[in-house]
Structure 1
Amino acid sequence: MLDTALQIIREEGGDRLTLGHLAIRAGVSKPVAYEHFGTRSALLIALYKALDLRQTNALKQALSAGERNLAETADLLAAAYINCAVDTGGEWHAIGAALAGSEEKGAVLQELLDGYVQLFASVLVPFSELSPAELARRCVGLVGAGEALSAAMVQGTYTESDAANTFAALIRGGVSAAR
């Protein structure tokens, strides 16, 4: 049903995604959709998490191959992170917009961002002399920068290459011990 929900968002927009419409498009009864998700917000959150899991796995896969220096790691991390925005097209933002004002959205988004902060810190720790706490704080900023660059790229302000190159430069500078 999540694939069908994503297809509805792609084809018809986030506002058209309801549990009733999902049931019809997925070929199941409305009670099945309601039993599975409960609410539209729960469906949107499940979609948010599914997209995030797919992108996190792609990022981890890209980072798992071979040893790299800081510059190579930053380039790979930035390119993979920015590419996640390309891969999800407008779906990520459409789901976020559909969840606007939802208390659950804030909590889920923070949980997902915290996961990226932890991933960045674990990948960058071999290249940094910063304390774990300082590296984590900087990774919060880096992930925020990655989100902002991704959003600007999706809006057409920057190319994917420009966003990734800028993000890689920020990553390289962000793990330095200089204050």
Structure 2
Amino acid sequence: MSSRRSEPRTPPRQRMARDDRHRQLLDVAWRLVREEGTNALTLGRLAEWSGVTKPVVYSHFPTRTALLSALYREFDARENAIIDAALAASEPTLPATAAVIASSFVDCVLAQGREIPGLIAALAGSPELEAMKREGDAAFLEKCRLALEPFGAKGTVAPPGLRAMLGAAEALSAAAVNGEITAAEAQDELSGIVVAMVERSGRPDRS
């Protein structure tokens, strides 16, 4: 990454409806993180890039933590919507369900590029953000549990296995973002991990 700061490329300040301004600030924040990294995302820098005064930014995001929280919630909501739609359209089999979970997770992280690893690293530095990530992780694991438990022993999937799956999903997605492996390799490996995790519990007793 160049040591020179990227210059803001936004139009001069203009009046907007509050919701439109909020949307603009989030869009600019994502672009700033993509181009300069999460550490460069300050409220003052966001104001500069957005072509507004600092008080305008503060009226939407009182603190940097509030801004990071909004970005993470947006990513989390997008990821959940994609996974929900994919699960609803998939075949009710273990391989198909595992493939949906794997492809959806990896695709969501890749769609945000290098922003997500940086954002997740920033989350670890604040108790508030860390708690929010834990809540998001718990919701994702619950979604996966409900989707996968019909294929586990007596309709259950062990929590430790789900936690291991999440760790693998984050690591493989980060490797794909960094170009260490391809997206297809990340998805295939994660899908295999999900299947193996569920199969260790055995099939449901249908007698």
Same fold (TM over 0.5): yes
Quote the offset at 1:130 in angstroms.
Answer: 4.8
Give the secondary-structure state (helix, strand or coil) at the position aligned to 2:179: coil
Indicate whether 1:118 and 2:142 are aligned: yes
Indicate whether 1:156 and 2:188 are aligned: no
Q: Deviations over 1:65-105 (max 9, x none)?
A: 14331111111211111112211100111223444522223
- Unpaired runs of 5+ in structure 2? 1-24, 203-207
Q: Which amino acid is 1:170 matched to?
A: I
User: Relative contact order, CA 8 A, sep 6+: which one is greater?
Assistant: 1
1:9–1:16: 8 Å Cα contact kept in structure 2?
A: yes
State the identity %: 38
Aligned length: 177
With normalisation by structure 2, the TM-score equals: 0.77
Counterpart Cα distance in 2 of 1:16 and 1:104: 20
Higher helix share: 1
Q: 2:75 aligns with which of 23, 30, 51?
A: 51
Quote the offset at 1:118 in angstroms.
Answer: 0.7
Partner of 2:32: 8
- Unpaired runs of 5+ in structure 1? none
Alignment of 1:64-103 (within 5 A): 64-103=88-127
Counterpart Cα distance in 2 of 1:31 and 1:85: 32
Counterpart Cα distance in 2 of 1:99 and 1:109: 7
1:96–1:105: 8 Å Cα contact kept in structure 2?
A: no
Poorly superposed stretches of 4+, deviation over 4 Å? none
Quote the offset at 1:142 in angstroms.
Answer: 1.1
Q: Deviations over 1:15-59 (max 9, x none)?
A: 322112212332333112112211112211211111121122111
**Greater C-alpha radius of gyration:** 2
Quote the offset at 1:161 in angstroms.
Answer: 1.1
2:32–2:40: 8 Å Cα contact kept in structure 1?
A: yes
Question: What RMSD over aligned residues (CA atoms) do the two structures have, in Å?
Answer: 1.9
Counterpart Cα distance in 1 of 2:29 and 2:128: 19
| Greater Cα offset, 55-64 or 98-107 | 98-107
Q: Which amino acid is 2:120 matched to?
A: G
1:14–1:98: 8 Å Cα contact kept in structure 2?
A: yes
1:37–1:43: 8 Å Cα contact kept in structure 2?
A: yes
Quote the offset at 1:110 in angstroms.
Answer: 1.2
With normalisation by structure 1, the TM-score equals: 0.88
